[in-house]
Chains A and B, each alone.
Chain A
Amino acid sequence: MELKILFFTSATCSWCPFIEQVLERIVKEAPHLELEIIDITNDISRAEEMEIVAIPTIILPNNQRIIGAADETFIREQLDFYLIMG
């Protein structure tokens, strides 16, 4: 089963590069997770499809959304269930 994390980012988002690093690190540690980074500046159709309002938004495989930037611990906490699976 492929577990995908969607990460919506934009050119104006100042917290996004940090979150991106964190997510990439997490995915590296857990190979069963896949990360898709969508920059809405280039591709608005995915944001439209997923009804994205705020940036950054992280969509977890269970359709739970994290809206807004947070630190690594917080993101890991939210991803807890999927990390244990690995």
Chain B
Amino acid sequence: MNISTGIKELDYMIDGGLRTGQCYAIKGTAGAGKTVLSLFMTLGALKQNIPVLFISTEVEPSKIIDYVKSFGMDFDGYIKKGLLAVDKITLKPQGVNLVQTDKFDLSAIIARTKAKMASIKAKLVVFDSISAFIAEFQYEKTARSGFMDFIREITKEDAVLILTAESQVSEEHATLEEFLVDGVIKIRTELISNQLVKRISVPKLRSAQPISFENRFIINKDGIMILRAENPPTIFIKEEKTGIDRLDELLGGGIPAGSVILIEIDGETNYFPLFLTTLFHQLKKNKGVIIHSNVHMHSARILEEFERVECDISSHLNEGNLVFIDKYNRTVTAVEAREISQLMTTDDMVSVTVELMEAFTRTEQKSVIYGDLTDDVNILSETDFLRYFALQSFNVKEKRAVAYSFINHNAISREILARLRTTADIIIRFSRVNYTNYIECMKSSTGATFLPKVVKFRSKYPLVEIIG
């Protein structure tokens, strides 16, 4: 069962809504709005007549009911209808002295929560907050492992469990809560020109596609507002096309000449349909295509793939519009094209590419370069590679060409990826989750970015179709 959070944009971010049997954590620093968000999610469920159990570890139920009135929520009404129960759980009730040891479990709150859930048939349980609760224990480790049982037992009841957890400002790594739960909703606050700006993201989402964007998160007296980070294109570009109509449209009509496009893929995704579609489009438009061959993107395979999808490129090969540069001195057969097959240094590569681009310019052809950089990163030294990439990018810009660089972002270091991203004009991420392929644009020189969209493969040209 899917439970809507009542906030449309948040539903979108967590793949349609909260799934029963799963546990979500709302993380954020103090004052980020974790409790407010959890209260709005409570209200969202109540509006759909889904019973909710709200457990507070810090505040008395009466105070919460008073507090939500300022947002125009009538919790009293829902309590009377039997849809809502607000409970307080604390280890140390007033006037009690504690002596603690490290040998205990949390079966009492599990049983109490289950009993409460049964009494109102709750499908959503909000626990605010786990950090405050754990802090009451002298032996936090035991409490945390006990809390794992709590998560397990509550989600077993076919309900959604939402935990709020405080994150530290300096926190770089995932904390225990993040490993335990199925989804993490993170609220981050930062000070931008003297204003506190809140951003919301979903860094973890089990069994669904997480949104890799941070959206703006705004709390005001009307409630919660989430603004999507997807930017519509601002300028209309006619210069160059990728050959995938929907992609061009999303990018604002096309791509500017002189762009370096970085296509990030994970190791599992087959980027060939995307690659072949754009490549075939360039050939049809009588452009000069230079392919830096390597292990994946080698001439024989490309020709085979074209044959398989029944795209005839023989005329382009004969005319010499398609050139393979073989970087690592591998014997290339079956190509009746201009071939330069010798062991090359990166400088050779750069100069050969420039020469080819110039040759294409002489015949009034625009050049397009394709390459899979993954192997280069791993074969070349870091400085050699970065120098090579920078030089190629510079030449592409100078010659008003377009370069498509494919890279497996899982196979290279974060630092290299960050540097590639800085140099690239357009970053397109191509990923696969649960046998569904997604395409998204993370950066664009024209300001047009878009969130992941489903990609479908076809057996005939055009091989890719973007849905949505």
Closest Cβ–Cβ distance, residue A35 to chain B (whole Å): 18
The interface stretch among B99-107, B170-178, B319-327 is B99-107
Determine if B112 is an interface residue (Cβ-Cβ < 8 Å): yes
Are B107 and A40 interface neighbours, CB within 8 A? Answer: yes
Closest Cβ–Cβ distance, residue A81 to chain B (whole Å): 13
Are B97 and A55 interface neighbours, CB within 8 A? Answer: no
Determine if A44 is an interface residue (Cβ-Cβ < 8 Å): yes
Determine if A6 is an interface residue (Cβ-Cβ < 8 Å): no
Are B95 and A78 interface neighbours, CB within 8 A? Answer: no
Those of B89-118 within 8 Å (CB) of chain A: 89-91, 93, 95-109, 111-112, 115
Give Cα A69 to B142, complex, Å: 12
Determine if A73 is an interface residue (Cβ-Cβ < 8 Å): no
Q: Which residues on the A side are within 8 Å of B105 (C-beta)? A: 10, 12-13, 54-55
Q: Which residues on the B side are within 8 Å of A66 (C-beta)? A: 99-101
A68-B108 contact given A51-B93, A54-B146, CB 8 Å threshold: no
Neighbour of B97 across the interface among A15, A56, A64, A68, CB < 8 A: A64
Measured CB to CB, the nearest residue on chain B to A66 is B99
Are B97 and A65 interface neighbours, CB within 8 A? Answer: yes
Determine if B236 is an interface residue (Cβ-Cβ < 8 Å): no
A68-B91 contact given A15-B103, A48-B112, A63-B97, CB 8 Å threshold: no
Interface of A is mostly: loop
Determine if A7 is an interface residue (Cβ-Cβ < 8 Å): no
Are B103 and A53 interface neighbours, CB within 8 A? Answer: no
Determine if A27 is an interface residue (Cβ-Cβ < 8 Å): no
Q: Which residues on the A side are within 8 Å of B328 (C-beta)? A: none
Q: Which of B90, B91, B95 has the most CB of A within 10 A?
A: B91
Q: Which residues on the B side are within 8 Å of A8 (C-beta)? A: 108
Those of A1-32 within 8 Å (CB) of chain B: 8, 10-13, 15
Neighbour of B111 across the interface among A10, A51, A65, CB < 8 A: A10
- 12 further interface pairs, Cβ-Cβ under 8 Å (given A12-B105, A53-B90, A68-B142): A10-B105, A12-B107, A47-B111, A48-B112, A51-B90, A54-B108, A54-B143, A55-B105, A56-B104, A66-B100, A66-B101, A68-B100
Binding site for A on B (CB under 8 A): 89-91, 93, 95-109, 111-112, 115, 139, 142-143, 146
10 sampled A-B residue pairs with Cβ under 8 A: A11-B107, A12-B107, A41-B111, A51-B89, A54-B91, A54-B106, A62-B97, A67-B100, A70-B103, A78-B99
Binding site for B on A (CB under 8 A): 8, 10-13, 15, 40-41, 44, 47-48, 51-57, 62-70, 74, 78
Question: 7 tightest A-B contacts by CB?
Answer: A68-B101, A69-B103, A68-B104, A52-B108, A54-B104, A10-B107, A64-B97
